[in-house]
Chains A and B, each alone.
Chain A
Amino acid sequence: QVQLVQSGAEVREPGASVKVSCKGLGYTFTGYYVHWVRQAPGQGPEWMGWIIPNSGGTTYAEKFQDRVTLTRDTSISTVYLELRRLTSDDTAIYYCAKDANRGTLDVWGQGTTVTVSS
């Protein structure tokens, strides 16, 4: 069964950083892009970027360009999202999602809640 399993909920203070993991199971991890999408309370989903697990190449949404880093460890089929300089506006559920074809997201992780609060 193809699935993405994410790390648990995180609480951070403003100004801190957070790193969320996403492990791919049941498919060839290096064969498909992995995207990150977040959803803040009461808002629609927001795309943050993608990583190519095979090469480590990345593309980020301009909004997050200077605060986000996507990395991967192919030995354990895991990708990571690191978001820096957190503010309360970063409070959201963060999802990783497997790319099926040029941006179609066919399998999603269960989501990781990140709460930014002092």
Chain B
Amino acid sequence: ETVLTQSPGTLSLSPGERATLSCRANRNLNSMSLAWYQHSPGQAPRLLIYAASKRASGIPDRFSGSGSGTDFTLTISRLAPADFAVYYCQQYSTSPITFGQGTRLEIK
């Protein structure tokens, strides 16, 4: 199965700062079949980015995705208080669908 490794495990930043989250796959992902989700405590996961760089409906343009092949990045340009949560990458290029272990974005 395709293994996704996210880094860092925890990222401590202040509101207004820029966050850069990484997701690395152990094999090339076809058609950039990678998504990013935000998961806040007590809530359902929320789709942010799909196809590596396309924002889902209603997602602010502060969130952007990039990358191809095996290396992908989620960037949040100016952190808002609601952005402090856990972020997961997910690949849907090969079966089974797999997720990374997550990056926890916490307030510094």
Interface membership of B102, Cβ < 8 A: yes
Report A115 CB to chain B, min CB distance, Å. 17
Interface 1/0 per residue, B64-108 and A, CB below 8 Å: 000000000000000000000000101010011111111000000
Chain A: interface secondary structure?
strand
Per the bound structure, the CA–CA distance linking A110 and B43 in Å amounts to 7
Chain B: interface secondary structure?
loop
Known: A59-B95, A95-B44. A102 touches B101 (CB 8 A): no
Are the CB atoms of A44 and B50 closer together than 8 Å?
no
Q: What chain B residues lie within 8 Å of A110 (beta carbons)?
A: 44
Known: A104-B47, A108-B45. A45 touches B88 (CB 8 A): yes
Are the CB atoms of A47 and B47 closer together than 8 Å?
no
Output the residue of B96, B100, B101 with the most chain A CB within 10 A. Answer: B96
| Total B residues in contact with A, Cβ cutoff 8 Å | 22
> Which of B45, B50, B99, B101 is in CB contact (< 8 Å) with A100?
B50
Interface membership of B25, Cβ < 8 A: no
Report B93 CB to chain A, min CB distance, Å. 8
Interface membership of A61, Cβ < 8 A: yes
Q: What chain B residues lie within 8 Å of A61 (beta carbons)?
A: 95-97
Q: What chain B residues lie within 8 Å of A37 (beta carbons)?
A: 99
Tier of interface size on chain A? 20 to 34
Point out residues on B near A: beta carbons under 8 Å.
33, 35, 37, 44-47, 50-51, 56-57, 88, 90, 92, 95-102
Q: List 30 A-B contacts (CB under 8 A).
A: A37-B99, A44-B99, A44-B101, A45-B45, A45-B90, A45-B99, A46-B99, A47-B96, A47-B97, A47-B98, A47-B99, A59-B95, A62-B96, A63-B96, A95-B44, A95-B45, A100-B50, A102-B92, A103-B90, A104-B35, A104-B47, A105-B35, A105-B45, A105-B47, A106-B47, A106-B50, A106-B56, A106-B57, A110-B44, A111-B44
